[in-house]
């Protein structure tokens, strides 16, 4: 199955077919949440910002 067929952004996940025994334990869920929060709080490197500016310019036809 192609990933886009499995889950499309903006659509709710089908939790009716989820197996309750496959739930993420609270300790792991909390650890992952902390880890991703830390990553989201990191500043975007200047190199990425420059690449994004170039891409935006290219899409505008500049």
Rounded to a whole number of angstroms, the CA Rg of the chain reads: 18
- The structure tokens 């910002």 sit at 49
Judged by average pLDDT, the poorest of 20-24, 37-41, 44-48, 52-56 is: 20-24
pLDDT of residue 4: 43
Judged by average pLDDT, the poorest of 21-25, 26-30, 42-46, 52-56 is: 21-25
Which residues, other chains included, contact 56 with Cβ-Cβ below 8 Å and sequence gap of 6+? none
Which has the higher per-residue pLDDT, 13 or 44?
44
Instruction: Determine how many CB atoms are found less than 10 A away from the CB of residue 30.
Output: 11
pLDDT of residue 5: 45
Q: Where are the domains of the chain?
A: 25-62
- The structure tokens 């659509």 sit at 11
pTM to 2 decimal places: 0.39
């Amino acid at each position: 199955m192609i990933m886009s067929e499995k889950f499309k952004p903006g659509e709710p996940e089908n939790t009716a077919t989820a197996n309750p025994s496959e739930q993420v334990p609270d300790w792991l869920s909390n650890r992952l949440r902390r880890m991703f929060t830390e990553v989201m709080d990191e500043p975007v490197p200047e190199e990425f910002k420059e690449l994004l500016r170039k891409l935006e310019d290219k899409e505008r036809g500049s």
